[in-house]
Amino acid sequence: MKTTIIGINSAYHESSVCLLRDGEILGAVEEERFNRIKHAKHSRVDNPDDLPEKSIEWALKTFSVKPEEVDHVAFSFDPEARLAANRNLGEKDVPAGDYGTPEGEETFYKHLKIAGEILKKKFPRATFHYLSHHLCHAGSAFFPSVHEKAAVLTIDGIGEFTTTWLGAGEKNILRPVMEIKYPNSLGFVWEKISEHLGFDVYGGPGKLMGYACISDPEGENSGVDYAERFRKIIRLTDDGFTVDNNIMRFRTRDFSQIEKLLGPKRQVITDRYEEASIAAGLQKVTEEVFVHLANILHKRTGLDALCMAGGVALNCVANYKILKETPFKYLHVESAANDAGTSIGAACLVWNQILGNTKRPVIKHAYLGPEYSEAEIKTAIASAGLKAEKPKNLTEQCAQMIYDGNVIAWFQGRLEFGPRALGNRSILCDPSRFDIRTRLNSKVKERESFRPFAPSVLPEDLGKHLEVPRDMDAAEYMLLALPIKEPRDAQRIPAVVQENGITRQATSRAHVVRREANPIYAELLDEMKKLSGLGMVLNTSFNISEPIVCSPEDAVKCFLKSKMDALCIGPFMVHR
């Protein structure tokens, strides 16, 4: 009889679901793709029981699973461990009823338990499991990887009380090597500095990483080394790192000590280069922490492969430093390294470590979400009053339009799992055009001008313009920032190069496309190579100030409110 496990994440944000049957991951999806709210929800002490209901419904319906056929429910958080560690911290000036206060932690615990009760009723035959948050991160990184043995590193804001977990996986078992606890949290530093510079907590860290690339820690004639200032906050130790919470004052609205180091708190961006230099200082110290932790882990495990997860592991620049500057030969980063991935980790943890199964689920690509039929796509087009053609060769026609300077919306196959668009829900254009980046940011994506774009590229073409890493695994999920080989290469593909405005160092967050993982997208790249010789397109997520589109209806709506030139959706092409 087959064993069916459903993994659930809803404790904080990036609510998600994974369905696993007999060691095979059938599907995984984030609730934001259905409810159209970024991150699905914001973290509050009273909403862990706001469950990813639409994702659960999709998983059961798509794979013909009845609720009574689910054997195990794996929830990626442990309320008992959380309450025990946080209820009596005695932190001063924390808003009443919030995280870290006795009443706030009791409320959080209560709603975590309510989530469990709801799920137990929904799946009446299932055994219910509350699981360690960081162990679920670790499980998402290691169990579906190709590595029989690997070191494992997870870094985020906080789970129950752990912020950073170092361990090792072998076959179907994970074992801890070391844990770093709150308030020593790299994730929380990024969140609070995002707020300090005028960004928000949720989308801010990603923007901050892009912002850091336009300057360096010493800025432009500022006379201040912001990396050195961040080293007063984040200190490397023999056991990892510490964070000075007397300066950061996590869980409070107090920025006074941060202001002494970094200047006044901004409401909006006011001085682009000074603030970018602050971001660059944090980025540099983050890279130092990554390399330091990786070296500790390598020394203690002696393993060649490293698997990573946790929201901070989305830092593609720091990830590359690990491959470049540590003894690790292989690097795997979970495509949904943020909390969304813990639903996969929870399901795998039950299957492998708790039930003792030796067969491990292997994820060969990130295309784990919903897929729509030609009939559903045709209905969405017609309902919007649009007309579509069905080209004899869609990839050839689309490539020609991109080469001619058009911006194309591209909707194909199953939805990606994770925050990166990987060629199934993407906006595409020609990376060789100098003006296209400005057009995309200001008129299509409606976002900050400094935000970078990524190139999708075939493996055999990567080395033409970018340094080829020791291991391209993480690059398949757009999680490595690779240096540009020569200045002339930056001139050849200017729209996908992030160039430091002071040092002129150039990198690109490449997305490597394997033919076996995404044949139609690889075919499009082949057509581009015939036209431009590049085998590359600029790839950014198919969305405008909302989650990545999920359904054909989402795609059509986004296209209509945009200034894109055409929509390639399934076998159809819709022109502006």
How far is Cα 303 from Cα 230, in angstroms, rounded to an integer? Answer: 31
Would you say 347 and 126 are in contact if contact means Cβ atoms under 8 Å apart?
Answer: no
How far is Cα 496 from Cα 473, in angstroms, rounded to an integer? Answer: 20
Write out pLDDT tens, residues 264-310.
999 866 557 788 899 999 999 999 999 999 999 999 999 999 999 99
Q: Which residues contact 90 (CB under 8 A, 6 or more apart)?
A: none
Q: Which residues contact 430 (CB under 8 A, 6 or more apart)?
A: 402, 403, 405, 436, 495, 532, 537, 538
Write out pLDDT tens, residues 514-561.
999 999 999 999 999 999 998 999 999 999 999 999 999 999 999 999
Q: Which residue has the tokens 């003006």?
A: 435
Neighbour tally for 125: CB within 10 Å: 12
**pLDDT higher at 274 or 194:** 194
Confidence (pLDDT) at 214: 84
Say what percent of the chain tops pLDDT 70.
Answer: 98
Confidence (pLDDT) at 71: 98
Q: The pTM is what?
A: 0.97
Confidence (pLDDT) at 269: 62
Coil, strand, or helix at residue 374? helix
Confidence (pLDDT) at 428: 98
Q: Tell me the average pLDDT of the chain.
A: 95
Write out pLDDT tens, residues 201-254.
988 899 899 889 888 898 766 689 999 999 999 999 999 999 999 999 999 999
pLDDT band at 16 (very low <50, low <70, confident <90, very high): very high
For residue 503, pLDDT over 80 is answered with: no
* Domains in the chain with CATH codes: 4-144+334-354 (3.30.420.40), 186-333 (3.30.420.40), 374-575 (3.90.870.20)
Write out pLDDT tens, residues 135-167.
999 999 999 999 999 999 999 999 999 999 999
pLDDT band at 171 (very low <50, low <70, confident <90, very high): very high
How far is Cα 307 from Cα 229, in angstroms, rounded to an integer? Answer: 30
For residue 502, pLDDT over 70 is answered with: no
Confidence (pLDDT) at 498: 86
Would you say 350 and 143 are in contact if contact means Cβ atoms under 8 Å apart?
Answer: no
Write out pLDDT tens, residues 412-442.
999 999 999 999 999 999 999 988 988 898 8
How far is Cα 565 from Cα 576, in angstroms, rounded to an integer? Answer: 5
